[in-house]
Amino acid sequence: MLDLRFFMENERVKTISIIKNNGCAEMLTKTASFDIVAMKTSIARAVKKYVKLGVDAEYNKVVEAALNKLNGGGIEWLKK
């Protein structure tokens, strides 16, 4: 979640790449239609929906749900 926050709140950061523990790479890129308010709203809604105990698995669902909602609408999410 900290990586996502860094990406979202820093205007100078356009793209961030992530190498997951399983070796898969993912890239997030802000598009011209990126809207920080929409992203914060999407994350807040996902937190409310998925986080009950505060465990990592719940936050993983939050990130995936928020990015899926915004993919193509302000963010390009490339998974390899």
- Rounded CA separation 75/80 (Å): 16
| pLDDT tens by residue, 14-61 | 999 999 889 999 999 999 999 999 999 999 999 999 999 999 999 999
Helices (H), 1-80: 2-9, 36-50, 56-70
| 74, containing H or E segment | none
- Tokens 């100078």 label which residue? 12
Using alpha carbons, list the distances in angstroms from residue 46 to 35, 38, 49, 61: 17, 12, 5, 8
- Record the pTM: 0.82
- How would residue 73 be classed by pLDDT, with cut points 50, 70 and 90? confident
Asked whether the beta carbons of 63 and 4 are under 8 A apart, the reply is: yes
